[in-house]
């Protein structure tokens, strides 16, 4: 089985999941609707983040209490964690 995807380009953003930091609290899931889900190990993976608005996606990533979600914009600036 291939390892889970940890980086995806969504809208004009690059979103990264650091699965070594994720502790599976699920804050990003409640905030972001279908952007992320927990896999069988209880760690976040991408669901359908393209279906989530840019603002909602940023809000979901900001909600992570352990900064496991990173967002970089098209200019290379780190938007999350801020």
Answer yes or no whether residue 57 interacts with ligand SF4 by CB under 6 A: no
Q: Which is nearer to ligand SF4, 16 or 75 (CB)?
A: 16
Answer yes or no whether residue 80 interacts with ligand SF4 by CB under 6 A: no
**What burial letters (b/e) apply to 45-62, b meaning 16+ CB within 10 Å?**
bbbebeebeeebbbbbbb
Q: Which is nearer to ligand SF4, 47 or 73 (CB)?
A: 47
Q: Which is nearer to ligand SF4, 12 or 39 (CB)?
A: 39
- How many amino acids of this chain bind ligand SF4 (CB under 6 A)? 14
Check if the beta carbon of residue 63 is closer than 8 Å to that of residue 31: yes
Answer yes or no whether residue 69 interacts with ligand SF4 by CB under 6 A: yes
The beta-strand segments (E) located in the chain are 7-10, 13-17, 36-38, 44-46, 69-72, 78-80
């Amino acid at each position: 089985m291939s390892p889970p995807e940890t980086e995806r380009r969504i809208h004009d953003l690059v979103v990264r999941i650091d699965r070594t930091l994720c502790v599976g609290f699920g804050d990003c899931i409640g905030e972001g609707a279908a952007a992320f889900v927990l896999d069988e190990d209880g760690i976040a993976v991408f669901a359908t983040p393209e279906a989530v608005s840019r603002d909602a996606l940023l809000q979901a990533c900001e909600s992570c209490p352990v900064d496991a979600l990173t967002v970089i914009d098209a200019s290379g600036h780190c938007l999350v964690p801020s």
